[in-house]
Amino acid sequence: MNTEYSFSTKYDKFLFGAAYYAEYMPYDRIDTDFSLMKKSGINVIRIAESTWSTHEPREGVFDFSALTAMLDCAVKYDLKVIVGTPTYAIPSWLYHKHPDVLAVTKYGPLLYGSRQLTDLTNKHYLFYAERVTRKMMEICRDSKAVIGYQIDNETRIAGAAGPDIQKKFVEYLKELYPDINDLNREFGLDYWSNRVDSWEDFPDIRGTINGSLSAEYKKFLRKCITDFHKWLADIVREYTFPGQFVTHNFDYEWRNYSHGMLPLVNQPESAASFDIAGCDIYYRSQDDFDGSDISFCCAIARSLKKSPFLVLETHAQGLKARLPYPGQMLQAMYTFASGGATGILYWNWHSIHNSFESYWKGILSHDLLPNRIYDELSSSYTEFTKTVPPSLLAGHGLMPLNDVAIMLDRCSCVGLEEFPFDDTDHTDYNDVVRTYFDGCYELGIHCDVIYPGDDQGRYRLIIIPAMYSVSDETVRSLRSYIENGGHVLMSFKSLFADRNLKIYHDAQPHGITDICGFTYDEFTVPGRAKILFNNGYTATPKYWIELLRTNSETAKVWGRYEHKYWEKYSAVIHQPIGKGSLTYVGAFLEKDDLKPIISKLADTISLDIPGARYPVVARKVSDSNGEKYLFISNYSDSEADFIDEKICPGTIHLSDWDTKIIKM
């Protein structure tokens, strides 16, 4: 059972709040807003990010009057403050003085206007970013309201590929491959005469057709973000006092909501620079609100430091499709809390009256008056504080008790960008991940997120979706995990290439054909093929199928292809190995077609699952004192019941969008 986590945070209260921008308001109303916040239960605000041009309207001319007004008023109303460095959106004067601060991409120089367009390695950008940050810290350091600082915002490097950053990339490669012949060999640069025999001849990365080199450049850009985070966090810490925290709001791959792991940032590495991980989670609402987006994103957030985290942004109204039904705001609070959140802040307090996010509505609408959302948010938080474990309100957070982990891998995510399995480019690595995560979720199986190199032994089952890129060390650790009693559920397109995306030249899947019970060397599109399971169930594969051949008498074929020419091949194989097992699914299947496989595997390995199936979802959690709780939620507009005599006697009745909490 997964219980070895750090529960320490840097503040002794559950944080409930919103982003606030006095700089954006049509008139001065800080007192009015802070009074309304206090009445609603809000105890923290997040300020100052993205307002560089207000605080430094001209080069070297600083005006922090709006910042000091908010800090002073926060003290008056006993609101705590998280201050964001204003570094992710540059003022126009900086661009006009140093146009090179904007990234040059494969499509050419970027144009000023949006945010996150800078080359984070540019010396001019770094000089002015450090200066405005230090000036801001001098203002903030004496405020009794400030409890923490947020570094930048959802940091990007904008695909920077100008001459200066490419020179840095070449120096980075020199350190990795002092002998340039090793670079040529590892990346296969002899292909199409891409070989480079002198560092001075290294070509413009924007033209490469080599997937390995392209992926390595993306890895280098991720390192640049990690280095930037550490650099800026170190500056901020020069001004902090004991008890103040430094964080960052990591985000997710975007599908008009937070969908998957972000390939652009190495979040676990960057998180090492922060005291507590922060994240921005925007989820599907109304009839699409099922809790899965929050649950998946929370699993990633708590994986970053193996600890509770802050939700630094989520929506109250948001875009028009996110306006919540009555009851959904409280339901979301419980979902965040049971996923490990030790604070929830909304973006933002007020709707904005002009520019890009005018229709991304805040808690208050454009009339800036209390409304249904304000009233429901207030009453929801009051109910939340009455029902959640006291240790959560004390700021310690809750951690899920999961026997299952899903192993994510950023190299594989990028590898499948370079070599997609869906020729239409509509489906990618994160879609594979979410089919497995969401299938488990709807069956009542909750997953942690882990990465190659993380501890595996605490889990009964590890799910490995599309781990295209894998090291021999990871293969050995998986073999050891299985042989010592662990169980693995692995998808198609796994264990295929090394960490440089060079395809292994042994039989697939690499490094395990002697124990997994099958091999393959052919793959194709499904065409008319179906998958027929032993129990008569038929599934419809999409995009990709692998023609698996069993090579072991102990291999159990759970599903075969139903096709005139492929019927002799297996699609799903379960192989007992030592005390454990490996189950391999050789095709892309949607969530509903995966669920029978997951369910059969759960029965085969006797996985303990609470007696709930979606739309009823039950989550086991532990608090910092070791007390265990069960959060039981109904994600539907109809009444539902939860029955599990092993956990509690009788029936627990749930109304629409309802959550009950039971101490176990």
Given a cut of 50, is residue 171 above it in pLDDT?
yes
- Here the tokens at position 177 are 């491959």
The percentage of residues in the chain with a pLDDT greater than 90, rounded to a whole number, is 95
**Cβ neighbourhood burial of 291 (10 Å; 0-12, 13-18, 19+):** buried
> What is the Cα–Cα distance from 465 to 330, expressed in whole angstroms?
32
CATH topology of domain 404-604: Rossmann fold (3.40.50)
- Here the tokens at position 499 are 């960490």
- Residue 424 pLDDT: 82
Beta carbons of 419 and 368 less than 8 angstroms apart: no
**Cβ neighbourhood burial of 90 (10 Å; 0-12, 13-18, 19+):** buried
User: Coil, strand, or helix at residue 31?
Assistant: helix
For 321, other C-beta atoms within 10 Å of its C-beta total: 12
Residue 600: which pLDDT band, with cuts at 50, 70 and 90? very high
Residue 9: which pLDDT band, with cuts at 50, 70 and 90? low
Q: For 234-261, how does the pLDDT look when each residue is reduced to its tens digit (9 = 90+)?
A: 999 999 999 999 999 999 999 999 999 9
User: Coil, strand, or helix at residue 604?
Assistant: helix
> Where are any strands of DSSP class E within 372-528?
399-400, 404-407, 447-450, 461-464, 487-491, 518-519, 523-524
Q: In sequence order, what are the beta bridge partners of 531?
A: 539, 561
Q: In sequence order, what are the beta bridge partners of 450?
A: 407
SS3 readout for 325-337: CCCHHHHHHHHHH
Calculate mean pLDDT across residues 162-178: 98
Given a cut of 90, is residue 153 above it in pLDDT?
yes
Helix extents (H) in 145-190: 163-176, 180-187
- Here the tokens at position 365 are 């609408």
Helix extents (H) in 14-147: 30-40, 52-55, 65-76, 92-97, 123-140
Task: Tell me which residue has tokens 């007004």.
Answer: 69
* Pick from 255, 304, 263: nearest CA to 283: 255
Calculate mean pLDDT across residues 171-181: 98
In angstroms, the first-to-last Cα distance of the chain is: 15
Beta carbons of 352 and 385 less than 8 angstroms apart: no
Q: For 83-110, how does the pLDDT look when each residue is reduced to its tens digit (9 = 90+)?
A: 999 999 999 999 999 999 999 999 999 9
Beta carbons of 345 and 46 less than 8 angstroms apart: yes
- Residue 535 pLDDT: 87
Q: Residues 122, 123, 124, CA angle at the centre, nearest 5°?
A: 95
Beta carbons of 482 and 509 less than 8 angstroms apart: no
- Here the tokens at position 474 are 């990871």
- Residue 4 pLDDT: 47
Amino acid at 472: D
Where in the chain are the domains?
404-604
For 136, other C-beta atoms within 10 Å of its C-beta total: 26
The percentage of residues in the chain with a pLDDT greater than 70, rounded to a whole number, is 98
> What is the Cα–Cα distance from 507 to 493, expressed in whole angstroms?
13
Task: Tell me which residue has tokens 């490469």.
Answer: 208
For the entire predicted model, the pTM comes to 0.97
> What is the Cα–Cα distance from 15 to 535, expressed in whole angstroms?
50
Q: For 327-379, how does the pLDDT look when each residue is reduced to its tens digit (9 = 90+)?
A: 999 999 999 999 999 999 999 999 999 999 999 999 999 999 999 999 999 99
For 241, other C-beta atoms within 10 Å of its C-beta total: 8
**Dihedral sign from CA coordinates of 135, 140, 141, 147:** negative
Residue 2: which pLDDT band, with cuts at 50, 70 and 90? very low
Residue 10: which pLDDT band, with cuts at 50, 70 and 90? low
User: Coil, strand, or helix at residue 663?
Assistant: strand
- Here the tokens at position 459 are 């889990």
> Edge-to-edge, what's the strand order for the sheet holding 404-407?
447-450, 404-407, 461-464, 487-491, 580-585, 570-577, 556-562, 530-533, 538-539
- Here the tokens at position 217 are 């450049």
- Here the tokens at position 150 are 């947020």
Q: For 444-498, how does the pLDDT look when each residue is reduced to its tens digit (9 = 90+)?
A: 999 999 999 999 999 999 999 999 999 999 999 999 999 999 999 999 999 999 9
For the chain, what is the total number of helices (H) and then of strands (E)? Answer: 18, 33
Phi, psi values for residue 353, rounded to 5°? -95, 0
Given a cut of 60, is residue 1 above it in pLDDT?
no
Phi, psi values for residue 584, rounded to 5°? -120, 130
> What is the Cα–Cα distance from 185 to 201, expressed in whole angstroms?
17
| Kind plus residue range of the DSSP H or E element containing 71 | helix 65-76
Q: How large is the angle between the packed helices 123-140 and 65-76, nearest 10 degrees? A: 40
Calculate mean pLDDT across residues 499-517: 97
Which of the two residues, 226 and 610, has the higher pLDDT score? 226
- Residue 60 pLDDT: 97
> What is the Cα–Cα distance from 55 to 449, expressed in whole angstroms?
40
Q: Residues 92, 98, 102, CA angle at the centre, nearest 5°?
A: 75
Calculate mean pLDDT across residues 163-191: 97
Residues 6+ apart with CB under 8 A from 636: 615, 656, 657
Calculate mean pLDDT across residues 221-231: 98
